[in-house]
Amino acid sequence: MRKPFIGGNWKMNTSRASGSDLARAVSDGVNSIRAAVDVAIFPPFPYLMTIRQILRERNSAVKLGAQDCYFEPDGAFTGEVSLAMLKDIGVDVVLAGHSERRHVLGESDELINKKVKATLEAGLECILCCGEKLEQRVSNLTDTVNERQIRAGLAGVPGEYLSRLTIAYEPVWAIGTGKVATPEDAQTAQQRIRAVLAQLYGQEAADRIRIQYGGSLKASNARDIFKQPDVDGGLIGGASLKSDEFVAICRAAAESVPA
């Protein structure tokens, strides 16, 4: 049985004060369900240490996530942040390949793969994102795009690292648009993603990897999506900025686990 995993990606939002309040509310709100669902929040870089302190003061089970990293250990890479730096301040999990990094900032599959490998080699957890744009979906290329991004992102990643790997399927056409894949659409895409993982690492290993859904996920649709057998939680964007909404999504994930 895979334990659901909910990630709250704050993106380039919040202030130190509002982010601190949000972290406190989320930590307190999910404390009673910590045994049933894993939760991580991904604040902007400048607030990571502030949020880490808040989580530690509360003895919180909420993991601290970074929205990005750089794969080199150190050096003349102006503006970049290394895994060693993130680990030093208590980061637990790092995003790689988010659609906004791919399509807004132009990150290639090769660069994303380097970040995935560096994150896992550093002993941190990694969420590798994949997903198709609207024109690719219309052209029936969803599976082709997802398979390419998964195979490229995991190239050279040994099976021993898989316990710290999560996949997030985020249909780009549904991110921040209010559109959402139907539960059946999400299940179909994520079942096929798991099949790709099985080709790479074997069925037993693939069955242990959690696959999140991300794309305008809200408390109102979370339960139906989380009922799907290959959906193991969600990577939440806009709804993660509202503590009540985010906690409700986490509770929906916890309730999706059979008694």
The verdict on whether 103 is a catalytic residue reads no
Q: What number of other Cβ atoms are within 10 A of residue 232's Cβ?
A: 26
Distance CA 42, CA 63 (A): 9
| C-alpha radius of gyration, the chain, whole number | 17
**Catalytic: which of 98, 100, 107, 125?**
98
The verdict on whether 135 is a catalytic residue reads no
Contacts of 18 (CB under 8 A, 6+ apart): none
**Catalytic: which of 110, 170, 204, 245?**
170
Tell me the three-class secondary structure of 75-128, residue by residue: CCCCCCCEHHHHHHCCCCEEEECCHHHHHCCCCCHHHHHHHHHHHHHCCCEEEE
Active site residues: 98, 170
